Structure 1
C-alpha cells in the first residue's frame, strides 16, 4: 500500500483509478490474517468508487481524499453497517442510520469508507486481544497482540491493507497499537475531530484520532478533514523538546529506551534544543485515570452489566465489576485531583514538546497478562497504558511515531505542551526524513 501522499498523487494524476484502488484494497482485506476486518460495505464502496472514477474522468475531484479507501474502528457509526463494539451484547445491533460526523467528514473529503475494523471490547483495554470475534493479530508476528483498543485500525495499516484508518483514544487506544504495529497515530485534543456517533467509554477522555503509515500521511489526512493548512517540514519558530526523565518513563524493554535516545539525538542533529524534563506528580496524576474511566464506563454499562453480565468477555466483566459499588465521592475526588495535578504539571513543563516512550513493552504474546522483564514480572495492561494516559488526563495533542529498531516495532510520543498539531506533525516529519 502506498503511503497516503503518494496514493493521493496517483489518484489525482489518473495513474490509478478509485475503482482499481478499491479492488486492490478489498482483495487485501479478503486475504487478511490479522482478524482486523469486522464487516465490509462492498456494494456501497464499489458504487462510491465507480462514481468517483467517473468524476475523475471528467477532470473533477470530490475532495482532497478523492478515491482513498478508509476503514473505521467498530465503535464509530457508519451508515448501513452495525456498530457491535467487539461485543456479543450487540450481536443484534441494527445497521446505523447515519454516519458519525467524522465519517461524514471523510466522505465529504472524497474518501471511500470500506467497512468496520476490530476493537478491544467496548474499547475498554490497551491490548487488543479481547473481543467477541477473537483477538486482533499483529502483522509483524501473528502470535502477538496489536495493542488496543484501536486494534483493527492499526493492524490494517501495518499489514498494508489500508492507507488511513479512524480510531479512538481514551487513554492509549490510538497510540499504543500504533507503537506495537509500527505505524503512526494522531491523538488530537478532544473535539478537533468530532466525537458524536461514537460508542462511549469514558466521556471525560474519549478522543477520535487517525492512524496511517507515517506522519506525512497523518498531516495530509488532518488537512483534508479539518481544513488546516498542510505546511511542509519545518518549524515556524524554534521548538524546545524535553525528554521525559524519571522512573515513570523508563521502559521495561531496553529497545524502547534506545528508540527514545535515537529520536533525541536525531532532533539534536537537526538543531532542535533538547534537554531533560522532569514530570513531578505524573504517577499521582495517572492514578486518577482508572478511577475516572472505570466510573464512567460502569455508568454506561450499568443496566446491561446487571442483567446480561455473562455476555461480556470475562476480562471486560472483571474490569467493570469493581466499579459497581464505588461511592460517588471517589469519582469526584479523582476528577478534582486530576484537574489540580494536570494544571500543575502543565505549568511546570519547560518545553514546547515532550518526548517519551509510547509504551513500556513491545508486542507480547496474545492472551498473556503478565511477562517477565529485567525489572521483574510486569502487568501487560499497565505497561501499555501508563505512559499514554497522562496526556488524555491533560488533554494534550500527541503524535505517536514509529522508530526503526531491530525486531518488533517500537514507538515514541511527541506531546504538544505548547506546540499544536501542525508543529507536532511537522517535527515528526522531520524526524522521519532524518531516520530514513
Structure 2
C-alpha cells in the first residue's frame, strides 16, 4: 500500500519527507501509470509543485495550515475549481468559460494547504456506476486494467489505488464513492447528507453527496474534518460537528449492536463476495461487537430511485445547448428521455417512498447501531461496459443494490476493503449508520480495518 496521509504528515513534521518529494512521487506515478489507467482528465504539475514548495516552507517554519498541508490530492471533475475547467465528462460543456469559482470542497482543500494535482475522470454528469465518457474514454482499474473501476468516482479511486496522489474527493448519488472504492480496494465514505457542503446544488438533489476517497479510515476521518467545514452556499448543510472526526474514529466500539444483512433480503450475491464479507463480519464479533443477522425489512426501492435519478438527469440536460443529444453518452440520452416522461406526481410519489424508507431505517437503528452489508454483490467486471457482459441486466443500478437505498435515506455509509477473490479482485464491506452518526461509522470501520491489517 502507498503511504497514507497520516503517515505523510508525520514524516513532514519529522523532516523525513517533504511535500515536494511526495508531490513529485505522485506526478512520477501519474506519468508512469496514467497512460494506461486514464484516471486524470487534467494534471497541473507546475501548479502542484508550486503549492508543494509553499507547503514545504510552512512545515519547515513550524506553521502548517492544517493536517492536510502538503498532501497530494485530486478532485473529481464534478467540483468547480478556479482556474481549471469543470467539464464533467461531457463534450457539451464549453472549456473556455471563466471558471473563476471554487466549490466548497475545493475551497476547503485549498485553505487546508493540500496540494491539488489535478482533476479525475467521471462518466458524463456522473450518471452511472462505471467510469467512461465520450470526452475522456475508459478509466481502468489499477488492480487489473482489463476491469472497470466502477463509478462514477472511478478516476478518483484509480488515482488513490495506484499511488497517483494520496487523497481524492468524489461524489456519491447512488454509490459513486463506495462502488469504485470496493472495486479498487480503497476506502470510500459517503457521509450524512449535508455533512459536506455542496455548491452548486446537484440536479440529483437529496441523493447527492460528496465524500473522501483514501487509503485508510484514519485518512478518511482526517479529510472529513476539513471538508465538513461550513460554507454558506449550501442551505442544506448541517451545523458543524462538535468534535474531531479523527479522534472519534479511535473510540471504543465494544458492545455496539451490529446488524449483518448479507443480502438485504432480496439481493443475489456472488458466492466469493458473500464468503469474504461473512469472514470479516465474524472478525467484528470476535472484537466484542454484538452481531445479529437481520435484514432492515424494505423491498428494493429501485423504481423510486430511478424516477428520482432520471428526472434529475433530464432537468440538467434540458439546460444543455441545442444539438447536445448527438454528443452525450447514449445511455445518458436514454435516461434523459426517460426522465422527461415522468410527471410531477411521479416525482412526488418517489419522494414519498424515499421518506418512508428513511423512517423505516430510523426505526431499525433504534435497535442497531450500524448495519453491515457487502458494498457491491459482485467483483469488478470488464471495463467499457455499463453492466456485466453476458448478464440479463438492463441498467447499472441493478448490479449495485446495496448502495443506492442509503442515498435515498441520506445515511452515512462507508466501504472498506476486506479481502480479494481468487482472481485477486478486491471486495468491499459496507457499514451504514443512522443519520448524523458519521463518527460511529468511522469508528467501527477503523476498528475492523485495524483487525484485518
If the TM-score is normalised by the length of the shorter chain, which range does it land in? over 0.9
The alignment status of 1:291 with 2:327, answered yes or no, reads: no
Listed one character per residue, the Cα deviations across residues 233-261 of structure 1 (whole Å, up to 9, x for unaligned) are: 33267310001155646443212111220
The answer to whether the Cα contact below 8 Å between 1:49 and 1:112 also exists between their aligned partners in 2 is yes
Distance 1:125 1:5, change over 3 A: same
The secondary structure found in structure 2 opposite 1:222 is helix
| Whole-Å separation in 1 of the counterparts to 2:265 and 2:303 | 12
Paired residue for 1:117? 120
Paired residue for 1:223? 225
What is the root-mean-square deviation in Å for CA atoms of aligned residues? Answer: 2.1
Q: Please list, as runs of the form range in 1=range in 2, the aligned pairs for 1:193-232 lying within 5 A after superposition.
A: 193-197=196-200, 200-226=202-228, 228-229=243-244, 230-231=246-247
Distance 1:259 1:380, change over 3 A: farther
Q: Please list, as runs of the form range in 1=range in 2, the aligned pairs for 1:36-55 lying within 5 A after superposition.
A: 36-55=39-58
The alignment status of 1:390 with 2:393, answered yes or no, reads: no
Shift of 1:379: 4.8
Paired residue for 1:304? 320
Paired residue for 1:58? 61
| Whole-Å separation in 2 of the counterparts to 1:177 and 1:421 | 20
Distance 1:338 1:124, change over 3 A: same
1:264 pairs with one of 255, 258, 281: 281
Q: Please list, as runs of the form range in 1=range in 2, the aligned pairs for 1:132-281 lying within 5 A after superposition.
A: 132-197=135-200, 200-226=202-228, 228-229=243-244, 230-231=246-247, 233-235=250-252, 238-246=255-263, 248=265, 250-281=267-298
| Whole-Å separation in 2 of the counterparts to 1:289 and 1:296 | 11
The secondary structure found in structure 2 opposite 1:404 is strand
| Whole-Å separation in 2 of the counterparts to 1:262 and 1:372 | 28
The alignment status of 1:17 with 2:18, answered yes or no, reads: yes
The alignment status of 1:76 with 2:93, answered yes or no, reads: no
| Whole-Å separation in 1 of the counterparts to 2:354 and 2:321 | 27
| Whole-Å separation in 1 of the counterparts to 2:450 and 2:360 | 35
The secondary structure found in structure 1 opposite 2:158 is helix
Distance 1:24 1:277, change over 3 A: same
| Whole-Å separation in 1 of the counterparts to 2:37 and 2:389 | 26
Paired residue for 2:236? none
Distance 1:204 1:234, change over 3 A: closer
| Whole-Å separation in 1 of the counterparts to 2:264 and 2:195 | 32
| Whole-Å separation in 2 of the counterparts to 1:2 and 1:134 | 29
Q: Unmatched 5+ residue regions in structure 2?
A: 230-242
Distance 1:93 1:173, change over 3 A: farther
| Whole-Å separation in 1 of the counterparts to 2:89 and 2:130 | 13
1:99 pairs with one of 84, 97, 102: 102
Distance 1:47 1:369, change over 3 A: closer
Listed one character per residue, the Cα deviations across residues 341-385 of structure 1 (whole Å, up to 9, x for unaligned) are: 321243145211000011121111023345478xx7445613443
The secondary structure found in structure 2 opposite 1:90 is coil
TM-score by length of 1: 0.93
The secondary structure found in structure 1 opposite 2:117 is strand
The alignment status of 1:362 with 2:363, answered yes or no, reads: no
Q: Unmatched 5+ residue regions in structure 1?
A: none
Paired residue for 1:8? 9
Distance 1:264 1:295, change over 3 A: same
Paired residue for 2:341? 325
Shift of 1:435: 1.0
| Whole-Å separation in 2 of the counterparts to 1:321 and 1:193 | 31
TM-score by length of 2: 0.90
